[in-house]
Structure formats: C-alpha cells, structure tokens
Amino acid sequence: MAKEKKYKVKRKKMTGGDFAFHIGAYFIFGLILIICAYPFYYLMICTISDNRMVDLGQIRLLPSGIHFDNYVKVMKVQNLTNSFRISVLRTVIGTGLSLIVTSYMAYFFTKEEMWARKFWYRLVVVTMYFSAGMIPAYLNNRMLGLNNTFWIYIVPSLISVYNMILVKTSIESMPPDLEESAYLDGAGFFTRFVRIVLPLQKPILATVGLFSAVGHWNDFFTTQLYVTNPRLYTLQFQLYELLNQIRAASEQITTEDPYAKLTPTGIRLTLTAVVVIPIMLVYPFIQKYYVKGVMIGAVKG
C-alpha cells in the first residue's frame, strides 16, 4: 500500500522531462489536429463566403461577405434535389434492410446445432476475400435485371459479411443464460432473437449501422458502373461528374444554365459540403460504439 501511494504522488508531479514531453506532444498533436480539421473548416468558410473572393484565394482563416446563396441555389438545381433524395433513400432503406438481414443471419450462425454450420459459415466468409470480379458481377446483375434500377443500390449489398461477423461475435459474447431462460419459458428462435438478442446488441448494431450507412452514402462507383438513368444518380455521383467536367476543362468550365450565377468553384464546394455535413453530424455520436466494432473486426481479420 505504502509503495503504491508513493508512485501516485510521483505521477502527479511533472518533472522537467515530463514538461518537455508534453510541450512536444501538444505541438505534434496540435499540428495533426490542424492538418485534419482545417480542410473541412476551409471548405465550410468558402461555401458561405463571397464567391469571387474564394476564386481569388482571398479566404483563408475567416469567412468574408457571408451569404447562404450557394446552398439555396444548389438546392434549386432540379437534378440535385432528386439526387439528394436518392442518396437519402438508398442510405435509409439500404442500411435498414441490411441491418435486419445481417443480424438475422448472424444470430442463426451462432447456433451450433445447425446442420453443417461450419461449412456454410466458411462458404459465406470466404466471399470477403474472394470475388468473381467487377465484370462478372456486372454481367450477373444485368442478368438479374438489377442494372439501372434503384435496387442495384440495395440488393447486392444486403449482406455485408464483415458486419455479419461483427454481430455474430458480439452475440456470442452474451451470457447464454439469458436465451436459455427465455427458451425454458417456451420462446422460439424468432421470439428470442427479437425480444432478447436484438435489444442487447444495440451498441454493435449502431456500429454496423454506421458502417453500412457511410458505405451507402459515400458510394459513387455503383452508379458509375451500373446506372445510366440520371433520375437515379446519387449525390456523390453528381459530385464525381462535376469534378470530371472540371478536370476535362482543366478547371476552366463555363457555367451552364442551371448553375447560372454560381461560380464553378462555388457549386463544387457547396455540393461537397452538402455531402460531408451529414457525416460530420452523425458520426461523433456513434464514436463511443465503433471502437468495440473495430476491435472485434481486427481480431477476426
């Protein structure tokens, strides 16, 4: 006891070396903080500053000539509001369905009595590391009639094996008595799954839901590969297209009608902000959950 007290006293006192270390550490991490946060901050102040000043690079630390026209106008561009709707819809529906199917599958894979469970489980897990490839997937989805429909966003990504493993591992760490007692009370598999297991798995479901939602929201390649109908474009894809136009004309694009009165930079930055803001708003709340998810995921590869 006496010894323990001694280190505690020692720990609280800052020695000269400690002090130097903290100065160094705060400097390094302060720098890292700025490097990570400043681009987002810069993006935000540019979208609300005078567009001409932004183009001339006069905005650095503080916004100037504050206005919200960019946001108002971007929202009025017909195809963009539609894309926003598509992005939100696929994120909500895709994440919701994926959570249901993934956790359902995870629950039944925890049941050791299942016929040839190991075999089926491996068959599923292998698909994380092995795929037929992009073109075969394209041909397959075409055969299934999914290409160029809204469902191409939802159905192929219904089951995420990685997320399934996370949920399964989490369910397995639950005390078995809980299910056992419900079983003795006559509850079947489905009742136990819905009433006992799911309510206790909220943290991991939040994590998996975040992964899935971010994946849906951020995806632009599915649109690029499978979708030609502009009514089905997602917001990310619109941004990608816009960037491609800029690239093609080496940043000299002329503004077209729907974007009139907006500078190309203004549109691009505002669209970028519109895509980033929802993520920035949601993820800090789920942060406390996903640490656990990452741990389980790393253990399982």
Partner 1 sequence: MKNRNHVGSRKAIKYRLFLYVLPCIAIVFIFSYLPLWGWSFAFFRYKPGKSVWDCAFVGWSNFKDLFGNAVLRRNLLRVLRNTFGIHFLGYVFSPLPMLFAVLLCEVRSKKFQKIVQTVTTLPNFISWVIMFSLSVTIFGANGLVNTALQEIGAGTINILNTDKHVWLTQVLLQQWKSLGWSAIIYFAAIAGLDQELYEAAMVDGAGRWSRIWYITIPQLIPTYFVLLIMSIGNFLNTGVDQYLAFGNAMNMDHIEVLDLYVYNLGIGSGQISYSVAAGMMKSLVAIVLFAGANFVSKKVRGTSVF
Q: How far apart are CA 73 and CA 96, in angstroms?
A: 31
Minimum Å gap between C-beta 77 and partner 1 is: 17
Binders of partner 1 among residues 201 to 260 (CB under 8 A) are 214, 217-221, 224-225, 236, 239-240, 243, 246-247, 250-251
The site for partner 1, by CB under 8 A, has a size of 101
Which range in 78-86, 87-95, 156-164, 199-207 contacts partner 1 by CB under 8 A?
156-164
26 binding partner 1? (CB under 8 A): yes
Binders of partner 1 among residues 85 to 124 (CB under 8 A) are 101, 104-105, 108-109, 111, 113-117, 120, 122-124
- Measured CA to CA in angstroms, residue 134 lies from 107, 222, 245, 274 at distances of 30, 11, 25, 30
Binders of partner 1 among residues 176 to 205 (CB under 8 A) are 180, 183, 189
Q: How far apart are CA 63 and CA 40, in angstroms?
A: 13
**Closer residue to partner 1 (CB): 150 or 183:** 183
Taking CB under 8 A as the criterion, the residue among 130, 177, 256, 260 binding partner 1 is 130
265 binding partner 1? (CB under 8 A): yes
Minimum Å gap between C-beta 291 and partner 1 is: 6
Minimum Å gap between C-beta 68 and partner 1 is: 19
27 binding partner 1? (CB under 8 A): no
Which range in 71-79, 196-204, 253-261, 273-281 contacts partner 1 by CB under 8 A?
273-281
Taking CB under 8 A as the criterion, the residue among 23, 27, 28, 255 binding partner 1 is 28
Which range in 50-58, 70-78, 85-93, 253-261 contacts partner 1 by CB under 8 A?
50-58
Q: How far apart are CA 74 and CA 258, in angstroms?
A: 9
What is the DSSP annotation of 7-66?
Answer: HHHHHHSPPHHHHHHHHHHHHHHHHHHHHHHHHHHHHHHHHHS-HHHHHTT--SSS--S-
Give the list of residues 6+ apart from residue 191 with CB closer than 8 angstroms, or none: 182
Q: How far apart are CA 77 and CA 60, in angstroms?
A: 28
**Closer residue to partner 1 (CB): 158 or 196:** 158
The torsion defined by the Cα of 194, 195, 199 and 200, in degrees rounded to 10, comes to -110
What is the DSSP annotation of 209-262?
Answer: HHHHHHHHHH--HHHHHH---GGG--HHHHHHHHHHHHHHTTT-PPPPGGGTTS
